[in-house]
Amino acid sequence: MKIPFNIDLNDKVVVVTGGGGVLCGEFSHALAQCGAKIAILDLNKEKAEEVAEEINSLGGRAIGVTADVLNKESIEEARKYVNDMFGKCDILINGAGGNHPKGTTTKEYLFEEDIDSTEDLITFFDLDPKGVEFVFNLNFLGTLLPTQVFSKDMIGKEGCSIINISSMNAFTPLTKIPAYSGAKAAISNFTQWLAVHLSRVGIRVNAIAPGFFLTKQNEALLLNEDGSYTERSEKILSQTPMSRFGKTEELIGTLLWLVDNGASGFVNGTVIPVDGGFSAYSGV
């Protein structure tokens, strides 16, 4: 991939959770091109190793590591392995997250007739507490626990940084996905809290809030079987002034700026939208 500009991350150790996914896989490639040693953590070992192999084949340095971001013991084991292979963590990208069907309503609005409907609907009243709990745990605890483990490596070192992944949902909740919207709002709030809490030990904490990017995770929601846009896609694009979905590489410039202490050393506790103007548009 072609990065928009280069920064010096030589000898820096970067840990990327959810690194086997599309967005964080791109993050890993970009940071490797800047000279960092990349530890790609993912619950799916094959995906983590696949990204690591791609980076290594291009001359970078990367390892794939199995880790469950909801299991502190698993994360501690991953940290020990990363420390043994590369050294202590300098930069943590908390990319693990996602949604769950049981935390999602079928319709955007509730109508009276839905209450006694014989249709296979999930209304607000049918949301499964376990599904909602899964979404909150994966996104919030899946950010908090890796931070507890890896930020210990950063104390007393210069140029250390944590990047969380928030969402447009954190600014204005989207219809149908209350659990995911709430969980991402928690990430934005936690980013600000953590930035203050860690400021005296020299660790900066910021977040990127992507707008709408077409990935494997959401393509079933955004694309019909024939590749055309779904009704939900059309609504999203009608509210996005740039009238298109983002490209994964369009997140890279913001990422590089945030992790480079020379460029953003006084930037702390921010949540940066990368959304084609979605959060700025009132709809009229």
> Where are the chain's structural domains?
13-211+246-269
Q: Scan for tokens 């020379």, then name that residue.
A: 262
- For the entire predicted model, the pTM comes to 0.95
CATH number of 13-211+246-269: 3.40.50.720
In this prediction, residues 39-53 reach a mean pLDDT of 97
Q: Would you say residue 261 has pLDDT above 80?
A: yes
Residue 242 CA to residue 244 CA, distance in Å, equals 6
Question: Could you tell me the two tokens for 88?
Answer: 């202590």
Query: In the predicted model, what is the mean pLDDT of the chain?
Result: 96
pLDDT the model gives residue 216: 73
Neighbour tally for 176: CB within 10 Å: 18
The string of pLDDT tens digits covering residues 153-181 is 999 999 999 999 999 999 999 999 999 99
* Minimum mean pLDDT range among 147-151, 165-169, 217-221, 222-226: 217-221
pLDDT the model gives residue 214: 84
Has 281 been annotated as catalytic?
A: no
In this prediction, residues 197-223 reach a mean pLDDT of 91
Q: Which of 109, 180, 229, 281 is catalytic?
A: 180
Residue 264 CA to residue 268 CA, distance in Å, equals 8
